A = this chain, B = another copy of it.
Amino acid sequence: MKKIILYDTTLRDGMQGENICFSPEDKIKVAMRLDDMGIHYIEGGWPGSNPNAMHFFELAKAAKFKQAKMAAFGSTRRPFIKAKNDKNLKALVACGAPVATIFGKSWDLHVNIMDIPLDENIAMIKESVAWLLSQGLEVFYDAEHYFDGYLNNQAYAVDTLKAAVEGGCTTLVLCDTNGGTLPHDVERITLETMEKFNKTSSVINFGIHAHNDCGMAVANSISAIRTGAVMVQGTINGYGERCGNADLTSIIPIVKLKLGYDCVTSENLKKLRKLSRFVSETANMIPLNSRPFVGHSAFAHKGGIHVSAVVKEAKAYEHMDPSLVGNGRRVLVSEQSGKSNIEYKAREMGINLGLDGKNGKSIVASIKELEEDGYQFDVAEGSLKIIMEKLTEQYKPHFDLESFRVLVEKDKERPCSAYAMIKIRVGDTIEITAAEGDGPVSALDNALRKALTNIFPDLDEMHLVDYKVRVLEGSDGTDAKVRVIISSRDRNNIFNTIGVSEDIIEASWQALADSFQYKLSMKKEEIDA
């Protein structure tokens, strides 16, 4: 079976998207999930242009990937110097990634704009590829603006590819950098180009890198793949500059389910929706409900006629089975799939849900209700555990809040000061403490910590590592409901807790209190796990 190589560039080209920003730590988390999904290559950044990228590759060296290879991105050498002296190329080697993807110019217009002689551009491509190969790297060549270049000066565009092949590269990726090409031109140009390399002694693989400026990034990628391309470059959720890159969350299911080519396992394909959500949460972007395959509305049925029929004969109303990509049909409020998920999670967390079906059903209903209110438990397992314990009357809080007061003061040019007073009960003891902090949540965190640490010295090893706030969809402005997700870390674990409220302090308190409760409920073996 034909196999398609998946090359993800969410962490490099995706970050060119407006509002998309990942820290090096975020990037590692995303890379681990991409690896877990079965993505073959993960482009982590451009070490020659961005110091953060270097940091990522350092973290990547320590991370344990199952199968994915890390790729570093960069340009060909600068004109009129030796490849081995080019800072950018040296950074590709130095970063330690086993794969280098370098881009060069295929469009003579661009070469002319940069005042580079056409021949020198050819030499830059060939020598850069050759030098990187001599350093032991696997090398992919991204032919920037290839389709525009081909239309403008076909012979020159093809010559730039030949230069990469002469340098030793066997994977040529045709890029529609401006995103203006339509599928029929992608098909024709890819085919004509491939034909020119059929007689080459080594086997040349082709790839496609498409942008979405005409809403055609997925169509163009599929068009190239059907024509013979074996590598596809894209991003999760199509994040990327302008209108975005080719969306791997569409391409992967189309390649696997519609074209029938090998790319990820059926098992891994089921992780697609969760991966999409994870990346949007990490980027702090609102997930697009209408996103094909993975969106919340992608398999939502509206209208009375359909609903009974969908259940009777799904394929009449659905182009595919949503569970294949980890999504679900949304027809009825109480979904069967919900219950089994929750049962699975409860088992995992060691919570006894009771064996009779009724209890399970009412828990599902309560959790679904909270999710309608904006809670999202798939990214906050700490709070999910507490909620399930509460719903099954197994919850034993380690402390109870009596009250708190938070005060924030600001005077003219001076920064804010924040104070918190807190009164909590632990067993029969009442603790009242006060603390200041760098903000109201920090002050609350400090005050709560102060009140609890004497009693629970283990809390010392827990720290908050991330704090995310999001206004919930469909609500307006600062009056809106907000969702706070707090990530906490102890020696061996990272866990998330969640709060939802119209008041950011209330929502933060819920998430903060849950994080303390969750930490205190951990058994010793969990802490050491």
Contacts and interface: CB of A to CB of B under 8 A. Distances in A.
A215 B250 contact: yes
Given A214-B319, A464-B476, A474-B19, A501 B297 contact: no
Interface in A149-195: 178-184
A113 B313 contact: yes
A214 B506 contact: no
A10 interface: no
Nearest to A422: B410
A482 interface: yes
A293 to B, nearest CB: 8
A418 interface: yes
B406 A241 contact: no
Given A469-B468, A505-B440, A182 B290 contact: no
Contact of A336 (B50, B214, B258, B477): B50
Interface in A1-36: 16-19, 21, 23-26
Contacts of A315: 109
A18 B445 contact: no
Contacts of A250: 214-215
Interface string A427-453: 000000000011111101100000000
A222 B478 contact: no
A23 B319 CA distance: 31
Nearest to A414: B403
Interface centre among A299, A335, A379, A506 (most CB of B within 10 A): A506
A480 B336 CA distance: 34
Given A409-B405, A474-B23, A180 B503 contact: no
A388 to B, nearest CB: 19
A136 interface: no
A216 B258 CA distance: 13
A373 B524 CA distance: 40
A297 B242 contact: yes
A470 interface: yes
A295 interface: yes
A441 B408 CA distance: 11
Given A16-B303, A182-B222, A468-B470, A298 B406 contact: no
Given A212-B290, A214-B254, A218-B216, A410 B298 contact: no
Interface in A115-145: 145
A161 to B, nearest CB: 20
Contacts of A458: none
A316 interface: yes
A352 B472 CA distance: 39
Contacts of A525: none
A462 B110 CA distance: 44
A336 B15 CA distance: 12
B179 A319 contact: yes
Nearest to A411: B403
B18 A378 contact: yes
30 contacts: A17-B297, A18-B290, A18-B379, A19-B379, A19-B474, A26-B473, A113-B316, A180-B258, A182-B258, A212-B290, A214-B218, A215-B247, A216-B218, A242-B298, A243-B291, A243-B297, A401-B410, A403-B410, A403-B412, A405-B409, A405-B410, A415-B503, A418-B505, A439-B504, A440-B505, A442-B477, A442-B479, A463-B477, A467-B469, A467-B482
Interface of A: 16-19, 21, 23-26, 49-50, 107, 109-110, 113, 145, 178-184, 212-216, 218-219, 222-223, 226, 238, 241-244, 247, 250, 254, 258, 284, 288-293, 295-303, 309, 312-313, 315-320, 332, 335-336, 376, 378-379, 400-412, 415-416, 418, 437-442, 444-445, 463-474, 476-480, 482, 501-506, 509, 512
